[in-house]
Structures are given as structure tokens and as C-alpha cells.
Amino acid sequence: MATKHSKRSGTKSAAKGSSKAARPAAKPAKPAATAARPAAPRRGAASRAPSLAERALSLRDAIQHSKLTAANPWDYTAKARKWEARAERLLAGAETAETHKALETLAAEVEGDRDFQEARRLF
């Protein structure tokens, strides 16, 4: 019985040795300089002003988030719901001078609100 066992262990070690030789070499690690290099900025991203839709979406998202962090959400939510509806209407409309003015008016009203500022401070 000892011979069977020794034969089995011999085949395992032979199989292990052959599998190591068949493995491909490991990929070399990236140099530290390339791994630490920051991603290149997109071209034109800094020079382009956000569109009306982007600004309206960002304002709507800020309003939605502020509803979650408002100090008194029961009183604040009704006001925020009206602002959200106005922002949605601006998103649905065409990009004209009137919609730009309406967005500026809405942004000034929202950002000037004391409750919104408090909620924004909390998030």
C-alpha cells in the first residue's frame, strides 16, 4: 500500500511542476509615475458654459436634495415642490431668452431663501 501512495504523491508533484512551467509570465507592474498621473482634462470642458438644461437640472437636483436635509421639512417641502415644478417647466421648454431669464429668477429666489441656504449648509 505504501507503494500506491507514493506513486500518487509522485504524480501530483509531477503534475504541479508541469503546470507551473505552462503558466504565462505575470504582467509587469505599471511604473509609479504612470499610476500616479492624474487624468487629462477634457478639451473644451472649462471654456464651455453650462446649457440651460444643465443649469436647470443642477438647480432641480439641489432643491430635491435640500428637501431631505431641511431643518423643518414639513414647512419647507411645499415651497420646494413649487420650485421643482418651475424647474421642470424650464426643462420642458425651448431655450430662449425668456427661459434664461426665468431660470435666473428661479435660481435667485431659491438661493436667496433662508431655508434653502440652511438645508444646503447641512448637506
Instruction: Indicate the residue type of 55.
Output: R
The CB-side HSE value for 83 (13 A sphere, CA atoms) comes to 29
pTM score above 0.85: no
Q: What is the pLDDT of residues 73-121, one digit of tens each?
A: 888 999 999 999 999 999 888 889 999 999 999 999 999 999 999 988 8
Q: What are phi and psi of 19, to 5 degrees?
A: -70, -30
Residue pair 93/106 in contact by the 8 Å Cβ criterion: no
Domain segments of the chain: what residues? 52-122
Q: What is the pLDDT of residues 22-81, one digit of tens each?
A: 566 666 555 554 444 455 555 555 568 778 889 999 999 999 999 888 888 888 999 999
